[in-house]
Amino acid sequence: MFTITKGLMTALLAIALSSASAVVSAKMDTVTGKINGHTCAHSGHTCPLSKLDPHLQLESAFVLQQQDGSYYFLSNVPRITAARYALQLATVKGSVNEKLRVILVDELLIDGKVIWSPAMVDEAINEWESLHGADG
């Protein structure tokens, strides 16, 4: 017969509590700012100046810039999506890494509407596979 000793119970409780705290720390944060080109944000100004500004093509990455000038990289949002919404006020829900100034995005919202999320990507892939077969 198996018996649980006080030491084993303490160890199991410690594991359970550390697991619970890990789940709590993985909460979703919400950050609002303007989508801006990284080079411009790093230089301290907003660009492109319009949707026709050549800077739009030159930017290799886009960020969510705060009013105070600080910014976060949107790690998993495709460049084309961020470029399409450049200069617009956006709300991002996801996991923020303050040290690296990166957000792992769960939802990107413009005017309160979700315009990109990993779930939307998965849904599109599943729809494509159901229409064309898994070998596509």
What's the pLDDT score for residue 53? 76
SS3 content of the chain, % helix, strand, coil (to 5): 40, 30, 35
What's the pTM value of the predicted model, to 2 decimals? 0.74
- Residue 112 DSSP SS3: coil
Q: State pLDDT tens for residues 81-115.
A: 999 999 999 999 999 999 999 999 999 999 999 99
What's the pLDDT score for residue 32? 97
Q: State pLDDT tens for residues 45-59.
A: 777 677 777 777 888
Record the tokens describing residue 70, joined without a space.
């600080």
What's the pLDDT score for residue 26? 52
Mean per-residue pLDDT over the chain, rounded: 82
Instruction: Rounding to the nearest 10 degrees, give the CA dihedral for residues 70, 75, 80, 85.
Output: -40
Q: Which amino acid is at 62?
A: F
